[in-house]
Amino acid sequence: MEKIKNIAIIAHVDHGKTTLVDQLLKQSGSFRQNQQLTERIMDSMDLEREKGITIRAKNASFQYENYKINLIDTPGHADFGSEVERSLGMVDGVLLLVDAVEGPQAQTKFVLKKALTQNLSPLVLINKIDRANAQPIKVLDQIFELFLELEASDKQLDFPVLYVSAKEGIALKEWKKEISVEDKKNGFKPLFEAILTHIPSPTVSQDPAFKLLVANLDYSDYLGRIAIGKIFSGKIKVGSPLFSYQKSGKTSRGTVTAILGFKGLERIELSEASAGDIVGIAGLEEVYIGDTIADVEDTIPLPRIEVDPPTVRMRIVVNDSPLAGKEGKLLTARHIYGRLLKEVRTNVGLRVEETDVPGTFEISGRGTMQIAILVEQMRREGYELMVSRPEVIYKADSSGILFEPYELLSVDIPQECLGPVMEMLSKRGGNIRMMRNSQQRVFMETLIPTRGLIGFETEFVNLTRGEGYASHLFHEYGPKQGEIEIRSNGVLVSIAKGISTTYALENLQQRGILFIGPGEEIYEGMVVGEHKRPGDLLVNPCKAKHLTNIRSQGEGKAIGLEPPKIFRLEEAIEFISSEELVEVTPTKIRIRKKILDSNERKKAAIKVGS
């Protein structure tokens, strides 16, 4: 047990966690000399590689000077905070990674607060010191202020610091601008030594009975369900009896069929495992994250893993459009609900409920991206479904007053963008709490309702021309504000069914921004573009030019169509209004009205108005 170190790497998104893990594994000798490796080895999901972010927490392990070091790479995006919360229960210390340019961000504060609350030992790494505008000494002062703000103990305030370039594989005990040949030769040696010195070995119970707290779940076609977690007491062998204590009070039984340890990125089968180690155990059919697994019946379970509640919800609906079933294979309510339940078993940050409307399910999470990632995974697996606009989850007190979630939004923008950004924040219900000017940039902290952040990212990128930084974090529930109007323009809605024509689209592009090109299959009620003005406009994108034997004045002129706006899934979900849905299939993302028939929409609007 004294030769084991369990650590999690925590940071804000894009501060370099996965790159750091790559170098730790490479420099510890976890790979062969001639082994072909890709960048961001730990990003195993296609979506992680495409988006450049970590979505799921993952385990790895390496040996250094007879020590076994178990690593957990955690997500940095706020929407996946539940992955961080459950991972911290398995470790005894954390590597807090902070960008030497950006400094501590919103998610840095969130993950550090969770780590300090659990009394974990922090080792601070100031990363990207090789960047031209790095300011590690200033960032160190900001980190110390953050520790003070989070009421860290005296022991936690005396945190060790290393200056790191994860990309170059260099760690320094003291900051210096010029990196010597000796420093490059030592590589991560100072970091390995700091881990052995400052990260404590696991603290385990002296109870001889085996107990493991399930922090993650996996599945193998050969072994079945695999429960991953830290052993808090005792030891376990293959063939031993197993008992899983669930939240409902139910106990399921099984037998250990395999014990899996970690070596580098690979899993290896073990004959036994003991207290302090992080392992995977197969042999239980019914087991959930937060369960306690023991080898004896009638034992006291360990405290369950608790995560912050969801703040955003959306509805997932069975696809009933005229084009349903043409592009996907899995489209019934049974298929969709089964897939959602499967996801909830391994993702403690999501919740799924059936609704009173047949074929409609309500899914709640931390943010739009968390739910959008799930929908994107489903479409790649062959599902067809529809998604509603995100809504915040309100709470009411005993007197019936509604409270809504608020987020602390931090933005770093160019000086010339200050006016437009402040106007946007005001429109979205933001209340600026702090503003700090530097030479050419402005930093602001704003308290803003969560619903004011729906669609914020796209508008922010456009206003700052891609030169702004923004991060947000759940702050608290506060009194509900008035209505926030985010989309001021209407949409172009098709009243025809058929194939879109170049002739019709040439005329329509003068009315707004088109979402479709020529030759696409269209149905009534489908949204084909954004109107330039408020209010929806009914259009016919399938209109063909009437042929005559009379030569027209424009004969022979080339038709110039602007390229259509192609939405990513997250952008489409944030664009739609409460009267619209996003139709998601393996090959297409379409926007449509909930009620396809224009006359029926008018009747419904009159009914709501009355």
Tell me the β-bridge partners of 530: 491, 513
Q: How sure is the predictor about 50, in pLDDT bands with cuts at 50, 70 and 90?
A: low
Q: Of 516-530, 555-569, 586-600, which range is least confident?
A: 555-569
Q: With a cut of 80, say whether residue 430 has pLDDT above it.
A: yes
Q: Distance between CA atoms of 263 and 281, rounded to whole angstroms?
A: 16
Residue 268 marked ligand-binding: no
- Higher pLDDT, residue 87 or 539: 539
pLDDT number for residue 551: 55
Q: Distance between CA atoms of 464 and 566, rounded to whole angstroms?
A: 21
Residue 129 marked ligand-binding: yes
- What letter does residue 416 receive in the DSSP assignment? G
Residue 543 marked ligand-binding: no
Question: What's the full length of the chain, in residues?
Answer: 610
Q: With a cut of 70, say whether residue 44 has pLDDT above it.
A: no
Residue 154 marked ligand-binding: no
Average pLDDT on 32-50 reads: 53
pLDDT digits (tens, 9 = 90+) for 544-554: 877 665 555 55
Residue 16 marked ligand-binding: yes
Cα 434 to Cα 177, 431, 463: the distances in Å are 32, 9, 20
Give domain limits for the chain: 4-198, 211-294, 395-479
DSSP 3-state of 105? coil
Residue 490 marked ligand-binding: no
Average pLDDT on 527-536 reads: 91
Q: Distance between CA atoms of 536 and 223, rounded to whole angstroms?
A: 55
Q: Of 69-78, 223-232, 309-318, 344-353, which range is least confident?
A: 69-78
pLDDT digits (tens, 9 = 90+) for 219-246: 777 888 888 888 888 888 988 888 888 8
pLDDT digits (tens, 9 = 90+) for 440-499: 888 888 999 988 888 888 788 888 888 888 878 788 888 888 888 777 889 999 999 999
Average pLDDT on 38-42 reads: 50
Q: With a cut of 60, say whether residue 542 has pLDDT above it.
A: yes
pLDDT digits (tens, 9 = 90+) for 299-324: 888 888 777 778 889 999 999 999 99
Mean pLDDT (the chain) is 84
Q: Distance between CA atoms of 451 and 403, rounded to whole angstroms?
A: 12
Residue 274 makes CB contacts below 8 A (sequence gap 6+) with 1, 231, 234, 235, 236
Q: With a cut of 50, say whether residue 34 has pLDDT above it.
A: no
- Higher pLDDT, residue 304 or 125: 125
Buried/exposed code over 100-111 (b: 16+ C-beta within 10 A; e: otherwise): bbbbbbbbbbbb
Total-model pTM: 0.79
- DSSP for 338-399? HHHHHHHHH-TT-EEEE-SSTTEEEEEESSHHHHHHHHHHHHHTTB-EEEPPPEE--EE-TT
Q: What class has domain 395-479?
A: alpha beta
Q: Distance between CA atoms of 531 and 385, rounded to whole angstroms?
A: 26
pLDDT digits (tens, 9 = 90+) for 370-380: 888 899 989 99
Fold of 4-198: Rossmann fold (3.40.50)
Residue 108 marked ligand-binding: no
Q: Distance between CA atoms of 103 and 443, rounded to whole angstroms?
A: 12
Task: Name the strand (E) or helix (H) holding 498.
Answer: strand 498-499
CA 338 to mean position of chain CA atoms: 22
pLDDT digits (tens, 9 = 90+) for 166-204: 888 888 888 877 777 887 888 888 888 998 888 888 877
Residue 546 marked ligand-binding: no
pLDDT digits (tens, 9 = 90+) for 137-166: 999 999 999 889 888 888 888 889 999 888
Residue 529 marked ligand-binding: no
Percent of the chain with pLDDT over 70: 92
pLDDT number for residue 37: 47
User: Using H for helix, E for strand and C for coil, what is the string for 383-394?
Assistant: ECEEECCCEECC
pLDDT number for residue 309: 79
Name the burial class of residue 503, with classes exposed (0-12), middle (13-18) and buried (19+) by CB atoms within 10 angstroms of its CB: middle
Fold of 211-294: Elongation Factor Tu (Ef-tu); domain 3 (2.40.30)
- Higher pLDDT, residue 367 or 280: 280
Q: Distance between CA atoms of 113 and 115, rounded to whole angstroms?
A: 5
Residue 79 marked ligand-binding: no
Residue 248 makes CB contacts below 8 A (sequence gap 6+) with none
